[in-house]
Structures are given as C-alpha cells and as structure tokens.
Amino acid sequence: GENVEQHPSTLSVQEGDSAVIKCTYSDSASNYFPWYKQELGKRPQLIIDIRSNVGEKKDQRIAVTLNKTAKHFSLHITETQPEDSAVYFCAASTVGGGADGLTFGKGTHLIIQP
Amino acid sequence: KAGVTQTPRYLIKTRGQQVTLSCSPISGHRSVSWYQQTPGQGLQFLFEYFSETQRNKGNFPGRFSGRQFSNSRSEMNVSTLELGDSALYLCASSAGTLTGNTIYFGEGSWLTVV
C-alpha cells in the first residue's frame, strides 16, 4: 500500500516568514494530494489540494508543488500569521481506484513565533 | 448546509466492551469514510462506504466494522475494546468515492477505553 512520509514533525518560524512542509509518497499510481490543517481540538480542514496533471497550485498565501518523478510534494505558506499555527497533514490517494483510501503523513506542528 | 455530524462526541468504555459511533454526512454526499487518529500513529484510514457498500478497507483487525444505511448515514462498531483503541474517530463525507473528491471531516468522537 501507499506510504507517506512528512517532514519536519515540528516547524517554528517567525511571524511574516515563510514555512515549507515536505512529503514523499511511495505509490507511483497516486494522483491526488490534499493538505489538511488541524487546529487544537478541531477537525482537519482541507486547505489546498493538487492533482497529478498539475505541477503547482496557489491560493493566496498557500501554494503546493508536486514533483511526480521524484514522488514528492510540498506545502508553502508565505507571510505566516499567528492563525497559521496548527498541525498540517499531507495525504495521497489514487483517483479511480485503490483500496487504501487517503494515506496521511504523520503531521507537522507549525508554530508561528510572534 | 449542515456539516458532517458525529455522535457521541465523547465516551468512556471499559476494556472488553463494544462501542457504536454514528455519522451523518453532508446532505447529498454518498461516500462516508472513517479514520482513527492517535498521537503515535496519526490519521489512519479504517474504511469507506459508498451507497451502502464497503468500497475500501484499511489495515485494521476485524473487531472494527461499519455499515452505511440507505440515507447515507453510517455507523462504525468496535467490539472487544482494547486500551489501544483509545483515539479520536473521525468520519468524513464526500460527494463521490474517496478517490479524488474533497472529503469533509466531522468533529470526531473521542473514545477513551479504561
């Protein structure tokens, strides 16, 4: 089955700086890569996703890049703000089939220092 | 539009007992999936139901089971509870199957096994 590795497990950045979280996956058939943000005690919420026919996608301060050859994808947050503090999860799945559902990384605890 | 609703939100059970958790998906969503979230293992896929049929299954023992009703509501059951089953159980719904459609999580059911 799919295996998703996520790094780093904890990331501390100064407010206003950029944050980058990286994930690698093992199944070359995976073609859908969402990112979720989970604040303490709350549900995970989708913040951005990318499909394998796209190399990069941007939504305001958030962007995701995908390198299918290297089997890795990254989340970029620019101009970080205190409300960006949360745990971020990457995931991978296979559109059109696959018995594994969404496979998640272990999460990155992002801390925004004032 | 109401979000994904899970009940109960919190419960405490004793080892050996069984538990049933309920999930009502977003109106119109036919796919319901379940995840277990623990600090050590992160978010792990349990199973997915679509139109009352189990479409995908994660790597969990047979003590974990689920079902979906004709109105798309879903239940999951854990029998012979073990201490290690203590976790946040998250239900998620999507319009299609898990494969590439955005999933929306409920607030979760916090299960403590003592």
**To the nearest whole angstrom, how far is the Cα of A14 from the nearest Cα of chain B?**
26
Q: What pLDDT is stored for residue B97 in this prediction?
A: 59
3-state per-residue secondary structure call for chain A: CCCEEEECCEEEEECCCCEEEEEEECCCCCCEEEEEEECCCCCCEEEEEEECCCCEEEECCEEEEEECCCCEEEEEECCCCHHHCEEEEEEEECCCCCCCCCEECCCEEEEEEC
| Alpha-carbon span B104 to B95, nearest angstrom | 10
Average pLDDT, chain A: 91
Q: What pLDDT is stored for residue B85 in this prediction?
A: 97
pLDDT one-digit tens code per residue, B47-96: 999 889 998 888 899 999 999 999 999 999 999 999 999 999 999 998 86
| Alpha-carbon span A109 to A113, nearest angstrom | 13
Report the DSSP beta bridge partners of residue B64: B78
| Alpha-carbon span A48 to A74, nearest angstrom | 11
Subunit contact B58:A34, Cβ cutoff 8 A: no
pLDDT one-digit tens code per residue, A18-47: 999 999 999 988 888 999 999 988 999 999
> Contacts of residue B31 in chain A, CB cutoff 8 Å?
none
Give 10-residue mean pLDDT values along chain A (114 residues): 92 98 93 92 92 88 95 97 96 64 91 95
